[in-house]
Homo-oligomer: A and B are copies of this chain.
């Protein structure tokens, strides 16, 4: 298993200069956007490109939210940008779609982040309770 490798290629760019945020889909992938307008929300998958270094990808535990008061926690329990496979996942509300641009309310990704994938969102059907630790509450 250790020798297996899979290749990703960016399909666009996330723009997030501060006061607004939008996703720009690269021209060849424009047809893959058809039908997105039926959704109010999307999952956005992106690459933590600034962290693509062996020492970051071998980080397995972090203090969540970079707060030393939070207990040292395995990265699979967190949304840390330091993890073996540098995939980020954000849940975003769509404001508008204009050709190859998807305007979104906000996103937890740096300006210039490579886009990997978008998936239309529909609510999860799961019986309560949903349980999660206190450090996830801001």
Contact = CB atoms under 8 A, between A and B. Distances in A.
Contact of A132 (B91, B116, B122): B122
B60 A32 contact: yes
Count the copies. 2
B78 A133 contact: no
A115 to B, nearest CB: 9
Nearest to A11: B84
Contacts of A95: none
A101 interface: no
Given A40-B130, A83-B117, A120-B132, 11 more contacts: A1-B13, A4-B9, A6-B49, A9-B84, A32-B76, A34-B74, A35-B73, A39-B132, A91-B126, A122-B132, A123-B132
